[in-house]
């Protein structure tokens, strides 16, 4: 009885829009040789892209593409919005996994000969999808506008700038000017969230329609091809199983290997070694072999050759034979290509950066301003006498009625999630001299009531706070504004690193993250997880296991093969 209204709706729609025909194209397919798990790689890429779109839209509801708030807004999502950690984690890992699965998908198409006549368009649209995906990866990284993302963008656009003749124009197009800045971020954001998605959806339409018209290539063995199996529901079931596995993997990675907090962009921090994301490492490595006048060979030549190889493949290899064992030359070429890319990637990964400085480089100490150059030696503290120092954007209250002491307010650095590891390096250079290595023990400080420089590991109880934000603010007041310890004539005092610009706000944020980590507090701790990530994973895993048992039980009870 219930089917009648459905039939009526079905007829009503079909008279106006070819719903049945579209559905038939989507699911009516006889797969030569039957359904197989190997064929689920394409739908896995599709699932990953769908998840990227959903998590991407969710991120845009919190993230702002401005240089002063991109990093903060992302971290707000990650630490203070319920399940924000999951949204960003899945987007980050989804992006990485998408490239892996895409590579597998193309490898399979290559081995199965799925690019051959009459499936050339499927392959070509696929190559376009690969390029768009690489574009997503390239424009996505800088959006975090942290140390890692900023430099990935800087290096990437610089490479575009080395291309002969059009390079400079191309760089300016990408950056919105000579240097990296707000316009760069806006352009990357627009590319990543508007231009590339449109391109991808168009290329995907081309790819999937071409694919559905000709269907799966199936096994190369004629014997196996005799039998066939339906796409719906057999193959779809396997697709859903693979999809679920990917889904749980993404959640697992988001819970147990969350993306790193790289710390805010700090162009003065010369200790940072920029390296591109792993999927561009092969190009990065190639560039090292082509330097000087040969540079364009690496920057334009190699990528162009790779793209041309992909694009021309269906036309250069016109042999109709699909069995890989009977196409040894093509297989060998493919193998050499894969090994080369992998080897270059590994070389790039394990190599020292192009700009890597020897340890203990003087770059950092040269950043010391003249008024606290002696920070580590004899800090005759320079209390900031000039209030005009534009130390903070947020600190002061420029009101006539209220005289607020901006020296007691935390500065910008307190609100930013720093990177503890990088903070450790700064600490070693600036703070360890008085507070001891790892803040473990202070130097003697004659003339002060305490008699020694305070220990930071563990830190005084009044400064410690379980809430990472409050802890950072407590620390920040001292680092920004300094302190003359009580006592008759203390030999050492805490320099005002923020007010005197002895340290950048980014360095201060990193140092705070480091001192907090010494005290067992993670600066990037999730304040409002919605649900503890581990518990969430256990819950999800339990649901899947339960489902596995239930469906197994039904199968056995009803004798379903």
Please report, as ranges, the residues that interact with other proteins according to CB under 8 A. 51, 54-55, 58, 61-62, 69, 72-73, 75-76, 80-84, 86-87, 90, 230, 233-234, 236-237, 240-241, 243-244, 247, 251, 394, 396-399, 401-404, 409, 415, 527-528, 530-531, 536, 540, 543-544, 547, 551, 554-555, 558-561
The two structure tokens encoding residue 483: 């302190």
Shortest Cβ 118–other proteins spacing (Å): 30
Stated as kind and residue range, the H or E segment containing 150 is helix 147-161
Shortest Cβ 59–other proteins spacing (Å): 10
Q: What is the DSSP string of 325-388?
A: GG-HHHHHHHHHHHHHHHHHHHHHHHSPPTTPPPTT-TTTGGGS-GGGTTTTS---------TT
Comparison of 438 and 469: residue with beta carbon closer to other proteins? 469
Comparison of 349 and 544: residue with beta carbon closer to other proteins? 544
Comparison of 156 and 263: residue with beta carbon closer to other proteins? 263
Shortest Cβ 533–other proteins spacing (Å): 11
Which residues lie closer than 8 Å to 489 by C-beta, 6 or more apart? Answer: 447
Stated as kind and residue range, the H or E segment containing 30 is strand 30-32
Shortest Cβ 81–other proteins spacing (Å): 5
* DSSP-assigned beta bridge partners for residue 264: 146
Residue keyed to tokens 């890319």: 341
d(Cα 545, Cα 422) in Å, to the nearest integer? 41
Comparison of 287 and 521: residue with beta carbon closer to other proteins? 521
Shortest Cβ 413–other proteins spacing (Å): 11
Longest C-alpha distance within the chain, in Å? 97
The two structure tokens encoding residue 497: 């690193």
Task: Identify whether the C-beta of residue 266 lies closer than 8 Å to the C-beta of residue 504.
Answer: yes
Comparison of 79 and 193: residue with beta carbon closer to other proteins? 79
- CA 20, 23, 28 angle in degrees (round to 5)? 110
Shortest Cβ 561–other proteins spacing (Å): 6
Comparison of 56 and 384: residue with beta carbon closer to other proteins? 56
Please provide the distance, in angstroms rounded to a whole number, between the alpha carbons at the two ends of the chain: 31
Shortest Cβ 554–other proteins spacing (Å): 7
Q: What is the DSSP string of 274-321?
A: ----GGGHHHHHHHHHS-GGGHHIIIIIHHHHHHHHHHHHHHH-----
Of 393, 440, 425, nearest to 513 by C-alpha is 425
Shortest Cβ 525–other proteins spacing (Å): 13
Of 171, 169, 131, 132, nearest to 153 by C-alpha is 171
The two structure tokens encoding residue 121: 């368009």
Comparison of 69 and 224: residue with beta carbon closer to other proteins? 69
Comparison of 51 and 200: residue with beta carbon closer to other proteins? 51
d(Cα 198, Cα 192) in Å, to the nearest integer? 10
Shortest Cβ 138–other proteins spacing (Å): 26
d(Cα 327, Cα 325) in Å, to the nearest integer? 6
DSSP 8-state code for residue 228: E
Comparison of 354 and 547: residue with beta carbon closer to other proteins? 547
Shortest Cβ 549–other proteins spacing (Å): 13
The two structure tokens encoding residue 20: 């049945």
């Amino acid at each position: 009885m219930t089917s009648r209204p459905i039939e009526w709706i079905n007829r009503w729609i079909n008279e106006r829009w070819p719903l049945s025909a579209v559905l038939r194209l989507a699911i009516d397919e006889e797969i030569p040789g039957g359904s197989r798990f190997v064929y689920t790689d394409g739908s896995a890429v599709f699932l990953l892209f769908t998840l990227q779109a959903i998590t991407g839209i969710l991120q845009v509801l919190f993230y702002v593409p401005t240089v002063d708030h991109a990093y903060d807004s992302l971290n707000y999502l990650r630490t203070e919005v319920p399940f924000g950690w999951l949204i960003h984690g899945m987007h980050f890992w989804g992006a990485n996994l998408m490239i892996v699965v895409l590579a597998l998908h193309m490898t399979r198409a290559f081995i199965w000969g799925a690019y051959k006549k009459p499936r050339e368009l499927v392959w070509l649209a696929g190559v376009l999808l690969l390029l768009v995906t690489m574009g997503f990866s390239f424009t996505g990284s800088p959006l975090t506008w942290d140390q890692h993302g900023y430099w990935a963008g800087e290096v990437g656009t610089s490479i575009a700038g080395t291309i002969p003749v059009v390079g400079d124009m191309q760089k300016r197009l990408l950056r919105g000017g000579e240097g990296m800045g707000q316009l760069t971020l806006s352009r990357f954001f627009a590319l990543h969230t508007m231009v590339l998605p449109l391109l991808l959806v168009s290329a995907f339409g081309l790819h999937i329609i071409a694919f559905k018209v000709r269907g799966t290539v199936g096994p190369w063995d004629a014997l196996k091809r005799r039998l066939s199996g339906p796409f719906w529901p057999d193959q779809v079931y396997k697709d859903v199983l693979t999809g679920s596995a990917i889904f749980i993997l993404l959640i697992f990675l988001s819970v147990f290997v969350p993306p790193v907090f790289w710390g805010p962009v700090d162009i003065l921090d010369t200790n940072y070694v920029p390296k591109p994301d792993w999927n561009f490492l092969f190009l990065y490595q190639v560039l090292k072999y082509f330097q000087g006048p040969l540079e364009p060979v690496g920057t334009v030549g190699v990528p162009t050759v790779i793209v041309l190889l992909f694009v021309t493949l269906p036309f250069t290899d016109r042999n109709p034979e699909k069995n890989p064992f009977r196409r040894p030359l093509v297989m060998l070429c493919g193998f050499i290509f894969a090994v080369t890319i992998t080897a270059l990637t590994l070389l790039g990964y394990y190599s020292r950066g192009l700009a890597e400085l020897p340890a203990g480089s003087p770059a950092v100490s040269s950043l010391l301003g003249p008024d606290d150059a002696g920070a580590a030696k004899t800090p005759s503290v320079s209390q900031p006498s000039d209030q005009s120092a534009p130390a903070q954007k947020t600190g002061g209250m420029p009101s006539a009625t209220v005289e607020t002491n901006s020296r007691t307010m935390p500065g910008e650095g307190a609100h930013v999630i720093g990177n503890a590891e990088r903070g450790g390096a700064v600490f070693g250079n600036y703070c360890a001299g008085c507070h001891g290595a790892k803040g473990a023990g202070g130097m003697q400080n004659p003339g002060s009531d305490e008699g020694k420089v305070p220990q930071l590991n563990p830190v005084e109880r009044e400064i410690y706070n379980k809430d990472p934000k409050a802890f950072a603010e407590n620390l920040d007041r001292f680092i920004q504004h300094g302190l003359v310890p009580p006592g008759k004539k203390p030999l050492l005092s805490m320099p005002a690193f923020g007010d005197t610009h002895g340290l950048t706000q980014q360095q201060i944020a990193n140092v705070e993250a480091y001192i907090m980590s010494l005290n067992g507090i993670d600066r990037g701790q999730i304040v409002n997880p919605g649900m503890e990530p581990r518990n969430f994973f256990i819950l999800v895993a339990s649901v899947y296991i339960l489902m596995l048992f239930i469906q197994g039980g039904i199968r056995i009870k009803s004798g379903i093969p």
